[in-house]
Structure 1
């Protein structure tokens, strides 16, 4: 399943709310027809729930991979800056001695 066809959390929420509204309408119609709630069967398709859970899990895996990549990038940037600082301090000691620069 490609990323562009993946349902978004907002779409999943809207779909879930629409399903709940439909179920509530069925219950209201059942009450209007003098049916008891025990006679009304509310079915939640297991496959649809499984698909939603798989889609959510897939999006979380992708988000986790992106964050891990970002963390690696930030760590490399920090290492590079640390190296620049070490080189600057080495240069400063060479130019001004162990006492450092005085202004």
Structure 2
């Protein structure tokens, strides 16, 4: 299963990437163009470069990804998710998701 990890170069994000690998998942590290990648040193993982403030780069990063794990800021890119991915996010959040929120706009 391909998992996009935002904030993958940070302390928490790099541990999420490693945990995904240990669990047999296929993480994809989403990092900013000039991100400090030291926390991912020695980790064999695909890196996709973009910015959470740029919806198009988030859409491109989500291509081929089945699950999204945010280790940065959740609400900044919800609108950029593909409808199919948004449905999975709603399912994962369960009753914590706002039932009347338009996640696919």
Q: Which bin holds the TM-score, normalised by the shorter protein? A: under 0.3
TM-score (norm. length: structure 2): 0.18
Counting strand residues as a fraction of each chain, which structure ranks higher? Answer: 2
Counting helix residues as a fraction of each chain, which structure ranks higher? Answer: 1
Structure with the greater relative contact order (CA < 8 A, sep ≥ 6): 1 or 2? 2
**Larger radius of gyration, structure 1 or 2?**
1
